[in-house]
Amino acid sequence: MNKKIPQHIAIIMDGNGRWAKNNSKSRIEGHRAGVNSVKKIIQKSLDLGIKKLTLYTFSNDNWKRPKIEVDSLLKLFSNTIKSEFSNLKDNGVKVSFVGDLSKFSNYINDLSHNLKNETSNNVLLDLNIALGYSGRQEIIYATKKISEMVMNKKLEVNDINEEIFTENLYDCNHSAPDLLIRSGGEHRISDFLLWQIAYSEIYVSEKFWPDFDENDFSEAIKDFSCRERRFGKISEQL
């Protein structure tokens, strides 16, 4: 694979509501249109040989939205899992979930658990779905786990380092994103992967998520390929 192609891409899929408003549609219609973009980007990732794709699907703060919208989102999510189950499994996509799933219904937890188990042996693309996710809460989660280890004398304070901290995040098996894409034109992180994106390249698309397609995805990757990733060094050291 071309070394300039990012191995891990994370996406903040923003703009469904604004797309719906601009097209005189309901917000849930905007979210449904957004699902079509998800399907396109998953397929394009497979075509390009991207190894990991992390999608900001439902943030912890999204629980604050009107109940009717939250209920519609959760119904759309569960229906999408059911309708795409076979496609994901047959196309070599390994699905995992990251976030606090405790607030979700048993039904959604069972669907998610089943999809994760049934795709666990797939190797073409790791699809990481951020659900009930908060970067701040993830850091607190890791801090509590490490504190318990120290209290139980399983870890010395002086032994705490970046590697130990990363190992105690929600999912320690996923590498840091090479590229973070945000649709919808907003220039903020929105509590997404705060620990992991320390050196991620960031690309903002002005397009709302339902309008973001394979060509826009390729354009983001092309932009990434032109960047020099120095990780604190100078060009002459690379």
Which of 36, 47, 62, 87 is an active site residue?
Answer: 62
Tokens encoding 33: 């249109």
Rg (CA), the chain: 18
DSSP class of 102:
G
Residues sharing a CB contact under 8 Å with residue 87, sequence separation 6 or more, in sequence order: none
Output the DSSP codes for 196-216. Answer: TTTT-EEEE-SS-GGG--HHH
- Residue 136 DSSP SS3: helix
Residue written as tokens 């005189």?
24
Residue 14: active-site member = yes
Bridge partner list, 202: 180
Which DSSP string do the residues of 152-209 spell out, in sequence order? TTSS-GGG--HHHHHHTSS-TTSPPPSEEEE-SS----TTSSTTTTTT-EEEE-SS-G
The Cα–Cα gap between 13 and 21 comes to 16
Catalytic residue of the set 2, 14, 87, 173: 14
Give me the DSSP letters along 44-101: HHHHHT--EEEEEEEEGGGGGS-HHHHHHHHHHHHHHHHHHHHHHHHTTEEEEEES-G
- The reply to whether 100 belongs to the active site is no
Q: Please list the active-site residues.
A: 14, 62
